[in-house]
Structure 1
Amino acid sequence: MERDVPLSQLVAQLTSDESPFALQQDSDGVFAYRNAPISLPQVIETARRDDDACFMVYQQDRWSFQRFYRELDTLSHWMVAQGIKQGSVVAIACRNRPEWAIAFCAAARIGAIPAPLNSFGRKEELQAALEDIQPALLVCDKDRFVRIEGDTSVEGCRIIVVDDKNNNDDLAMAYQTIIEQVDTTVESLPMPDVSSEDSALILFTSGTTSRAKAVVSSQKAVCQSLFNIDFISALSGMSSPEKVKKIMEKGMSPVILSAVPLFHVSGLHAQFLTALRNGTRLVFMHKWDTNAAYELMKTEQVTQFNCAPSMLLQLFREPHPDKQAMIQQLIGLGFGGAGVPESLMEHVFKVMPDQMIGIGFGMTESNGVASAVSGDLFRQHRDSSGVISPIMQVKIVDPIGQELPPNEVGEIWLKGVSVMKEYLGNPQGTAEVLRDGWLASGDLGYRNEDNFLFIVGRLKELINRNGEKVSPQEVESCLQRNSAVKEAAVFGIEDEMTGEAVIAVVSLAQHEHITEAQLKHFVSEHLASYKVPSQIHVLERELPRSPAGKLLRKEIKREFSVKTDAILAAS
């Protein structure tokens, strides 16, 4: 395909009736891919392989497709024997590792609803999530088991611990014990009778309130999202023929380095489930470490890496002897759709001229679908967040909900087949973001005449720290639970290493004294580590307020951003 073929013509060709990406439209005007799978059980079965090719790597362990499906079948049989059935919720809380993937697929395969939790959460956060979703089973690692003190606080919820062979008691059962005790010759179970509208997945999203919301998605929504990833790849390949030719000439088998948490759509949909569907090797990192990342790139011949901008910046700065070779070995590199420093992007394009560099924008509530692009199209529109998906309608609205013309900035609203069903048990929260079928994103941006989407900011006061969203109100609420704190203000400031740093300013109660270190420790006991402020400014004076008594947050941020910049620069 010639590079100068108009984008609209490429999309039309890819979505024509004869194409694998042919579209169909329902009575509400919503488009969907006609040939997409209809359920996660179908996705899992279609991908089934019974060979010794390596599928997953974790630390010193290697998992073939045969082992993956054997243990998946074993665990799914055990789940059914325990009374876990279609519609039951199975929570997962552990690091990225093969057992996470097996638990997810075993639950989905029987028609149950996998519900990955944010594994960074502290006891209160994890138990709040479990309370919201009321799972029949929790699959976790020892760290999370200890963190919740072996108690899900959900009546009848069983626990499997994936990395402790000795954990077999009334509280929990060891994963390995199940695998060894259940007949390993079991065959896969019959396909569950699930419809495209049945619930398939629960993911948690950060909000501007103190409690994460449980996002429920249908089978159709998840599967359409997965098929949309195929469409993005096809569009990017057709528009980047020279790059594709050079990649093919390398003759390397695709290998993905997975450093993004699987409890995010970027880790679950774009990496794990896509790797499963395509038969691609997936290399899990125990935790993010730049030197370890380079070593894995070298030993596993990694070709694809998706990451937060801060992670790539750290990789470029790591003085590893094989850095240049490993960067050039990569075939593809992907980012999230906002917060990528321009200087970093320019450097990436300079040092990786022949690679397929891509970007995408989406939400948990849309299963990651909104816009995406890779290859030459992205290099030609490098300040964009990609091409709007053919299965997602996007409109830009003003503060009263009126649609704006191209190139005018407003809130981004989404409508499409991949949009969530609801926030579980939260009808008010659902109604606030779903308006006549449109999902209000809370992000500010515009679209141009060529159907590219551009992100310029957000309405929500969320802080983006290393790709994890932090609610200022949640951190403020936590700080104010300390008896020494009278009031608190939390905000984010730009930070080269993390994207944004979490900064707090607190006013002490009368006759109270507490140090910054003590407050950080206090927050760390209640909230995940990424929510702990990088800096806490402790004041013995009151925070500034308006005549109406409201905190002057902009004034506080303006004053203490300068002081924080100086502290961070010196650290």
Structure 2
Amino acid sequence: MGKKIWLKQYPPEIPDTLEYRKVPIHEGLIQTASEFPDRSSIHFMGREMNFAALLVDVRKLAAYLQSLGIRKGDRVAVMLPNIPQAVISYYGILLAGGTVVQTNPTYTERELEYQMKDSGAKAIITLNLLYPKVSKILKMTDLENVIVTAVKDALPFPKNLLYPIIEKKKQGMIVSVKHGHNVHLLSKVLKQPAGSLVQYAYDIEEDIALLQYTGGTTGFPKGVMLTHKNLTANAAMCRAWLYKSKRGAEVVLGLLPFFHVYGMTAVMILSVMEGHKMVLLPKFDTEATLKTIQKLRPTLFPGAPTIYIGLLNHPELEKYDLSSIDSCISGSAPLPQEVQQKFEQVTGGKLVEGYGLTESSPVTHANFLWGQKRVPGSIGVPWPDTDSAVFSLETGEELPPGEIGEIAVKGPQVMKGYWKRPEETEQVLRDGWLYTGDLGYMDEDGFFYVVDRKKDMIIAGGFNIYPREVEEVLYEHPAVQEAVIAGVPDPYRGETVKAYIVFKAGMSATEEELNAFTRKHLAGYKVPRLYEFRSELPKTAVGKILRRALVNEEKVRSKAAAENADIDSA
């Protein structure tokens, strides 16, 4: 033990250790714009933007943020889908010296208010459609300025004229925002000449580039502090793993949301760092995605199992040419073997499973794409400069191959800690190791396997859902006495959210009523899809609800249902 036995599996093209540039993330854009000024950086709905133009807009925004009082270390939130402005905002904040706070555009006012309060963000960049939501929480937070953009601002003519009409049809209204006071239109900012820019010195191992919110042992989201070194190191590891890709020559499908760390690192940062063109899609639509692949010929396609499953199940899949796709690393949830095999047959490319978590920027393990051994059901082997081990839950000692314990990782991509939460940081960062909360084992060849989660987090459709957060909302319903949330198997989403409810004496509510209630306070992907009403819930001797017992019940039901289906089909 203590030896990286997986290194013997590495092909000659992947080095055991890498050299990392000691510069902040935004320097990657400056270098790429110098090397490939005319290379297309972003394709969005028919409009192209080259790296030189991207850098010009980033500098304009950075100078404007500084004119608003943003200084080094100040937090600025980005609440945008995958549109060009999301890339401009991310790099503009960093160039201004700020720290990015990625915010999910589907958040409710409650969720948004919590994140803004916790992060202490001084400004937020958001869509015109989301401005009414943002405006309602301003007084409860430290937000001093709101920068507003619109999807139409990134569209080519005549789509930019037609889009507001489509928007009005969908939303029933057009949200009009005026430039003035503490509200600023990004379109006006980018039309102005760039102002002077204060240059800061950076300690890339200490300076925080990103606060990425995730759940925790308390059930409330907390900010993961990722440094410039964390993120650039993980992107460099990704580049090393994709060793057949060529600098300045690849086309990357940007479907994974940038407000999730996987999409941000594996698509945005990697593409900017390597001079690849990003083809941005603001949401996943199977037909639109298939048409985009056929027309724009992406070569790299980081994704999640639900995305690949959705494409493979399109009724007219055979109509589309997907042969441009060369490499895909799937994350966020386990990748079914049959999905991997079918996708590779359809595209002719390679699809492998990877593993990581927000706290590691995020990737730590992956299977090999080319030539080397791939093990079904395995999350692969650790990336360069990444160490991994399995520790006993009882003794804390490192376990030999084949024995199940908690998976831990160590490497330059591991977070600095949790924002303003030293005690929770100490729980997961111990002796240089990040304890993942996932249970698994390593085989004799150094391949790792996840068998269960120590944490109760649910991964549905690639989104992380934390039961306590949903339970807190359900407990606010006047008829609910007890509530527990668990993830149950789902053939499409991987897992789905199920609520087990005990009502107060003499009271009740329907599934429809509870659904409407939770949707007022939670993003749609967190809302329970299934409900089970019970007279009591399983508990320990001290009254703690046994969530795991409910999960095990569901596993038994699923297994029985599958066996009955096999008997019926026979």
| Category of TM-score, reference length = shorter chain | 0.7 to 0.9
Shift of 1:321: 5.6
Counterparts of 1:445 and 1:563, CA distance in 2: 24
- The normalised TM-score by structure 2 is 0.86
Native 8 Å contact 1:58 1:286 kept in 2:
no
Contact residue 301 and residue 327 of structure 2 kept, 8 A: yes
CA deviation string 1:301-327 (max 9, x = no partner)? 22222211111111101123655522x
The AA in structure 2 aligned to 1:209 is: T
The superposition leaves residues 275-296 of structure 1 with CA deviations (integer Å, 9 ceiling, x where unpaired) of 1122211112121110111121
1:41 and 1:192 in contact (8 A); partners too: no
C-alpha change, 1:41 and 1:350, in structure 2 (3 Å) is closer
The equivalent residue for 2:399 is 404
Aligned to 2:207: 198
Partner secondary structure for residue 446 of structure 1:
strand
Q: Secondary structure of 1:431's match?
A: helix
Equivalent residue, structure 1, for 2:456:
461
The match for 1:362 is 356
- CA-CA distance at 1:544 after TM superposition: 4.0
Q: 1:295 maps to what in 2?
A: 291
Counterparts of 1:73-472 in structure 2, within 5 Å, are: 73-152=59-138, 153-155=140-142, 157-163=144-150, 166-180=177-191, 182-183=192-193, 189=197, 191-196=199-204, 197-234=206-243, 237=244, 254-320=250-316, 323-326=319-322, 328-336=323-331, 338-352=333-347, 354-377=348-371, 380-399=374-393, 400-472=395-467
**Which residue number corresponds to residue 477 of structure 1?**
472
Alignment check: 8 A CA contact 2:236 2:270 kept: no
Between stretches 167-176 and 107-116, larger displacement belongs to 167-176
Q: Distance in 2 between matches of 1:437 and 1:502?
A: 34
Q: Deviations over 1:528-559 (max 9, x none)?
A: 111101112234x2334455433343444455
Instruction: Decide whether aligned partners of structure 1 residues 318 and 66 sit closer, same or farther in structure 2, where only a CA change above 3 A counts.
Output: same
Residues 333 and 356, structure 1, Cα contact 8 Å, conserved in 2: yes
Query: CA offsets, 1:183-231, max 9 Å, x none?
Result: 15x68x4642111222222111133433111011222222211211122
In 2: Cα distance, 1:412 partner to 1:556 partner: 24
Q: Give the Cα separation in 2 of the matches to 1:12 and 1:565.
A: 43
Amino acid in structure 1 at the alignment position of 2:257: P
Between the aligned partners of 1:199 and 1:71, the Cα distance in structure 2 is: 23
CA distance in 1, matches of 2:556, 2:359: 35
Relative to structure 1, the CA distance from residue 559 to residue 374 in structure 2 (aligned partners, 3 Å threshold; closer, same or farther) is closer
Change (3 A) 1:451 1:95: same
Q: Give the equivalent residue in structure 1 for 2:154.
A: none
CA apart distance, 1:449: 3.6
Provide closer, same or farther for how the CA distance between residues 212 and 94 of structure 1 changes in structure 2, counting only shifts above 3 A.
same
Residue 451 and residue 321 in structure 1: after superposition, are their counterparts in 2 closer, same or farther (change >3 A)? Answer: closer
**1:7-22 paired onto structure 2 within 5 Å:** 8=8, 10=10, 14-15=14-15
Question: How much does 1:330 deviate?
Answer: 1.4
Q: Which runs of 5+ in 1 are unaligned?
A: 1-5, 16-20, 24-32, 238-243
What secondary structure, in the 3-state scheme, does the structure 2 residue paired with 1:406 have?
A: coil
Cα–Cα, structure 1 residues 151 and 380, in superposed 2: closer, same or farther, change >3 Å? closer
Q: Are the aligned partners of 1:165 and 1:177 in contact in 2 as well (CA < 8 Å)?
A: no
Q: Which residue matches 2:21?
A: 36
Mapped pair 1:543 → 2:554: no
Task: Give the share of equivalent positions with the same residue, in percent.
Answer: 27
Offset of residue 117 of structure 1: 1.6
Cα distance, 1:561 vs. partner? 6.7
2:488 corresponds to which residue?
Answer: 493
- Cα 1:519–1:255 change in 2 (3 A) is same
Partner Cα separation in structure 1 for residue 451 and residue 187 of structure 2 = 48
Measured after TM superposition, the shift of residue 167 of structure 1 is 2.9
Please give the per-residue CA displacement for 1:475-495, whole angstroms capped at 9, x wherever unaligned.
122111101111112111111
Name the residue aligned to 1:521.
516
1:427 Cα shift? Answer: 1.2
Letter of the 1:207 counterpart: G
TM-score by length of 1: 0.86
Q: Is the 8 A contact 2:30 2:55 kept in 1?
A: no
Cα deviation per residue 1:150-195 (whole Å; 9 max; x = unaligned)? Answer: 4333235211011177432434211112112x215x68x4642111
SS at match of 1:451: coil
Bigger Cα displacement from structure 2, 462-471 vs 118-127: 118-127
Q: 1:456 to 1:544 in 2, by over 3 A?
A: closer
Measured at CA, do residues 426 and 561 of structure 1 come closer, stay the same or move farther in structure 2, by a change above 3 Å? same
Deviation by residue 1:213-266 (Cα, 9 ceiling, x = unmatched): 1011222222211211122122xx4xxxxxx8xxx9xxx952222111112221
Query: Which residue type is aligned with residue 266 of structure 1?
Result: Y
Identify if the C-alpha distance between structure 1 residues 70 and 567 changes in structure 2 by more than 3 Å, giving closer, same or farther: farther
- The equivalent of 1:28 in structure 2 is none
Q: 1:363 to 1:557 in 2, by over 3 A?
A: closer
Cα deviation, 1:318-373, whole Å, max 9, x if unaligned, reads 123655522x2311222017421233233234444x42323321111111231123
Change (3 A) 1:324 1:59: closer
Q: Which moved more, 1:80-89 or 1:516-525?
A: 80-89
Q: Which range is displaced more, 367-376 or 422-431?
A: 367-376
Task: Mark the CA change 1:192 to 1:425 in structure 2 (over 3 Å): closer, same or farther.
Answer: same
The one-character-per-residue Cα deviations of 1:94-137 (angstroms, maximum 9, x if unpaired) are 11111111011011113221121233321111111111111121
Q: Deviation of residue 560 (structure 1)?
A: 6.1
- Tell me which of 517, 526, 534 is aligned to 2:529: 534
Q: CA RMSD in A?
A: 2.9
**CA shift at 1:378, angstroms?**
6.2
Q: Give me the whole-angstrom Cα distance separating, in 2, the residues matched to 1:42 and 1:546.
A: 54
Q: Is the 8 A contact 2:335 2:353 kept in 1?
A: no
